[in-house]
Amino acid sequence: MSDRPIIRVQHIVKSFGSVMAVNDVSFDVRAGEIFAFLGPNGAGKTTTIKMLTTLLHPTTGSLELDGLDVTTHQTEVRRRFGVVFQDPSLDGDLTAWENMDIHGVLYHVPRQTRRERCEVLLRMFELWERRDDFVKTFSGGMKRRLEIARGLLHTPKVLFLDEPTLGLDPQSRNQMWTHVQSLRASEGVTVFLTTHYMDEADRVADRIAVIDHGRLVATGSSAELKQQTGTDSLEAAFLKLTGTTIRDESATATDQLRQVTRVWRR
Amino acid sequence: MSVVYILWLREVKKYLRSRVQIVASLGGPLMYLGVLGFGLGPVFQRAGEGSYLQFVAPGVIGMTVLFTAMFSGIAMLWDRQFGFLKETLVAPVPRLAIMIGRTLGGATVAVLQGTLIFVVTLIAGFRPVSLLAVPLAFLVIALIAVIFSALATAIGSGLKEMQGFQMVMNFLVMPTFFLSGAIYPLEGLPRVLGALTRVDPLTYGVDGMRGLLTGRTHFGVALDVVVLLGVGVLFVVFGAWRFSKIEA
């Protein structure tokens, strides 16, 4: 691992009207590590990912990815990361191959390289035999794997995974993390992920940051967090750091639609 | 360029694969053509206006192009929250290229669907007065397609809920169709209705097509084309601007 952080976040604030979604958050992610971003619902995880992936601008503060300012060097930064959003972003009416191919064109991957990378990645994620099938016929786990494969097509330096195992069965979740862990060896990519499942973070993450109410409450390895809180599991450490109150997110129109699509996609 | 092409290709592929949808969307136009075309025929004839089928066929083609173009643009609502749009929005490509690719794709689909209906009108007995004018009529069809595909992109960029779709259908698409003179002549209309038909871009599209295919025109084909070109440029710029404002 090199010394220079691949992601550097300094004092970022994001407010929506009077709501402070992210409030003075700073952290570094080292090149080649698996970094987990944990927090209860509405803590500011997705907002942070959206800022890091250029979809939202921070109100104040600075964000750097691979030494580039995320706000001012949008296009260069976009070439350097791949992202798997919380909601699926595949086109179900196209085949797995076509979804990959469009991505390659959007990221200016030359035709020959595109074909080779598509094959390597589809094989790696065990989707090669299904490459000519429509994505709408895929299971949740297969879709997620395809999205990760797609996100890696343009050989990014950082891969963002926003709750990649949400709604998957334990088998698929297990398989997903095996894949993610092997990525570091095969692709040398830095992984920035968010999840609700503490056991998963415990298993795969080198370092963990815990965010709550828009503020960073702790950073460190799983062992450090346990030590810091005097607990013996990451789950207990997490609850100690963030409390046991249940957070009610106000349901937006998007959330409602999201629920509808989840029902219909099953 | 390759970005525009691949996004255009995506729209066209999806259209060609949705056989059920293609057939289903023939339903509306067929009803207007069949029921109105033959049902109102005798009255129209008695009023000394000639064949109503000849009159209404360009209107039905215009309607098909309008509906298809608007639908494909509004379908962005799905792409937007739960699908593919975000994938394109974080890609290292200009928003303009994405917007142009999508809009041209939607417009192409609308032209294809318009062509299909054109063939159906021919089967139903519609006879263009000059075969040479048919390619020119397709130019007008393409203009209509681009105008409404761009407008749909502009609207789709701001829509966040499915309910909004109903609003657009009831307060924009249906009035655009009914005010266009697609199903009635523009001559001798009450003043208010007459004024409304003149602000509807589809009016000029239908009039242009009708002029080219049947020789009957209200404004003159040249004026129709000029208006369509002007509105086309305006709507594409408007659509591109709205699309550039999308927040994911």
pLDDT in tens, A33-88: 999 999 888 888 889 999 999 988 999 999 999 999 999 999 999 999 999 988 88
**Residue A249, helix vs strand vs coil:** coil
A75, A91, A97, A100: best to mutate for the B interface, most B CBs within 10 A: A91
Q: Does residue A83 sit within a domain?
A: yes
Confirm or reject contact between A251 and chain B (CB < 8 A): no
Do A157 and A190 contact (CB within 8 A), yes or no?
Answer: yes
B21, B89, B90: best to mutate for the A interface, most A CBs within 10 A: B90
Which chain B residues are closer than 8 Å to A92 by Cβ? 83
Q: Does residue A108 sit within a domain?
A: no
Which pLDDT value is given to residue B81?
Answer: 67
* Pairwise CA distance, residues A130 & A127, whole Å: 5
- Asked if A89 lies within 8 A of B6 by C-beta distance, the reply is no
- Asked if B82 lies within 8 A of A107 by C-beta distance, the reply is no
Do A226 and A237 contact (CB within 8 A), yes or no?
Answer: yes
DSSP character at residue A95: B
DSSP one-letter string for B33-75? IIIIHHHSHHHHHHTT---HHHHHHHHHHHHHHHHHHHHHHHT
A84, A85, A106, A153: best to mutate for the B interface, most B CBs within 10 A: A106
* b/e sequence A221-239, b meaning 16+ C-beta within 10 Å: ebeebbeebebeebeebbe
**Nearest-CB residue to B84 (from A50, A54, A91):** A91
Q: Please, which pLDDT band fits residue A247 given cuts at 50, 70 and 90?
A: low
Q: Which residue of B has its CA nearest to A94?
A: B14
Q: Does residue A23 sit within a domain?
A: yes
Q: Please, which pLDDT band fits residue A1 given cuts at 50, 70 and 90?
A: very low
- Asked if B248 lies within 8 A of A56 by C-beta distance, the reply is yes
- Asked if A261 lies within 8 A of B82 by C-beta distance, the reply is yes
Specify the number of domains making up chain A. 1
Compute mean pLDDT per 10 residues along chain B, 248 residues long, and list them.
Answer: 93 90 86 88 88 93 94 80 82 93 95 95 91 93 96 88 80 93 91 94 96 93 96 96 84
- In angstroms, what separates the C-alpha of A33 from chain B's closest C-alpha? 23
- Asked if B84 lies within 8 A of A89 by C-beta distance, the reply is yes
Residue A18 or A205, more confident: A205
* Pairwise CA distance, residues A18 & A181, whole Å: 40
- In angstroms, what separates the C-alpha of B91 from chain A's closest C-alpha? 6
Confirm or reject contact between B7 and chain A (CB < 8 A): yes
Q: Does residue A129 sit within a domain?
A: no
- Burial of B1: CB neighbours in 10 Å, binned 0-12, 13-18, 19+: exposed
* Pairwise CA distance, residues B9 & A39, whole Å: 41
Which pLDDT value is given to residue B137?
Answer: 96
Q: Judge whether residue A95 has pLDDT over 60.
A: yes
Q: Does residue A201 sit within a domain?
A: yes
Do A190 and A32 contact (CB within 8 A), yes or no?
Answer: yes
* Pairwise CA distance, residues A131 & A60, whole Å: 44
Which pLDDT value is given to residue A214?
Answer: 87
Which pLDDT value is given to residue B80?
Answer: 78
Of A155-164, A241-250, B16-25, the one with minimum mean pLDDT is A241-250
- Asked if A107 lies within 8 A of B91 by C-beta distance, the reply is yes
Q: Which residue of A has its CA nearest to B7?
A: A102
Q: Does residue A105 sit within a domain?
A: no
- Asked if B14 lies within 8 A of A102 by C-beta distance, the reply is no
Q: Which residue of B has its CA nearest to A262?
A: B82
Q: What residue numbers bound the domain in which A227 lies?
A: 5-93+140-265
Q: Please, which pLDDT band fits residue A266 given cuts at 50, 70 and 90?
A: very low
Which pLDDT value is given to residue A84?
Answer: 92
Q: Which residue of B has its CA nearest to A92?
A: B83
- Burial of A259: CB neighbours in 10 Å, binned 0-12, 13-18, 19+: exposed
Give the C-alpha distances (Å, rounded to integers) separating A158 from A49, A51, A84: 12, 14, 11
Of A85-94, A109-118, A130-139, the one with minimum mean pLDDT is A85-94
Give the C-alpha distances (Å, rounded to integers) separating A230 from A233, A240, B1, B225: 9, 9, 58, 77
- Burial of B225: CB neighbours in 10 Å, binned 0-12, 13-18, 19+: buried
Closest CA to B164 of A73, A55, B172: B172
| Beta partners for residue A69, in sequence order | A64
Confirm or reject contact between B10 and chain A (CB < 8 A): yes
- In angstroms, what separates the C-alpha of A228 from chain B's closest C-alpha? 37
CB-CB neighbours of A257 under 10 Å = 19
Do A106 and A130 contact (CB within 8 A), yes or no?
Answer: no
Instruction: Show which of residues 111-170 on chain A sit within 8 Å of chain B, judged by CB atoms.
Output: none
Q: Which residues touch B238 (CB under 8 Å, ≥6 apart)?
A: B150, B151, B154
Instruction: Show which of residues 82-101 on chain B sit within 8 Å of chain A, judged by CB atoms.
Output: 82-93
Confirm or reject contact between A91 and chain B (CB < 8 A): yes
- In angstroms, what separates the C-alpha of B234 from chain A's closest C-alpha? 27
Residue A179, domain CATH? 3.40.50.300
Which chain A residues are closer than 8 Å to B14 by Cβ? 91, 93-94
| Beta partners for residue A63, in sequence order | A9
* Pairwise CA distance, residues A157 & A150, whole Å: 14
Which pLDDT value is given to residue A251?
Answer: 53
* Pairwise CA distance, residues A71 & B184, whole Å: 55
* Pairwise CA distance, residues B208 & B205, whole Å: 5
Q: Which residues touch A248 (CB under 8 Å, ≥6 apart)?
A: none
Residue B181 or A240, more confident: B181
ipTM reported for the complex surpasses 0.95? no
| pLDDT tens for each residue of A171-196 | 888 888 888 888 888 888 999 999 88
- In angstroms, what separates the C-alpha of B161 from chain A's closest C-alpha? 7
| Beta partners for residue A74, in sequence order | none
Which chain B residues are closer than 8 Å to A58 by Cβ? none
Q: Judge whether residue A123 has pLDDT over 50.
A: yes
Which pLDDT value is given to residue A233?
Answer: 83
Do A84 and A148 contact (CB within 8 A), yes or no?
Answer: yes
Q: Which residue of A has its CA nearest to B8?
A: A102
**Nearest-CB residue to B91 (from A78, A87, A91):** A78
Q: Does residue A110 sit within a domain?
A: no
- In angstroms, what separates the C-alpha of A218 from chain B's closest C-alpha? 29
Q: Does residue A122 sit within a domain?
A: no
Token duo for residue B157: 């960029």
Confirm or reject contact between A106 and chain B (CB < 8 A): yes
Q: Which residues touch B117 (CB under 8 Å, ≥6 apart)?
A: B26, B29, B33, B60, B61, B64
The vertex-B101 CA angle with B99 and B103, nearest 5°, equals: 65
| Residue B220 C-alpha from the chain's centroid | 20
